[in-house]
Amino acid sequence: MILARITGSVVSTIHHPVVDGRKLLLAERLDQNGDPTGGYLIAMDAIGAGKGETVLILDEGSGARQILENDRAPVRSMVVGIVDAVEIALT
């Protein structure tokens, strides 16, 4: 799974039926310190994540299809968690 921050959203009227009624969020990828890595992805919301929140994104298709309860969903990235804090244990 990927650590990311919700920085925007995508509005789409014409799309695959699986996107109907679902929110598409724009998320910038974060490193372990919470800094942007420069990458981003568009993820479908599964939990009601809001703007600016740090989230956990699942980037794997069969898990996404399981959440959507649709075995034909062309979706790979799902927001599956909202992160409070990331602690790094120094070694």
Partner 1 sequence: MLLGRVIGTVVPAMLVDELSATPLLWVQPLDREGQANGEPLVCADGTRMAGPGQVIYWVSSREAALALDPWFVPVDDAIVGLVDEVRNYSPGELES
Residues that bind partner 1 (CB under 8 A): 5-16, 19, 24, 26, 28, 40-43, 51-52, 61, 64, 72-77
Q: 14 to each of 20, 51, 54, 61, 78, how far by Cα in Å?
A: 9, 24, 28, 21, 20
Nearest-approach distance from CB 59 to partner 1, in angstroms: 10
Residue 66, SS3 per DSSP: helix
Nearer to partner 1, 85 or 89 (CB): 85
Q: How far apart are CA 61 and CA 84, in angstroms?
A: 25
Nearer to partner 1, 8 or 35 (CB): 8
Nearer to partner 1, 73 or 80 (CB): 73
Nearest-approach distance from CB 15 to partner 1, in angstroms: 3
Q: 45 and 79 in contact (C-beta within 8 Å)? A: yes
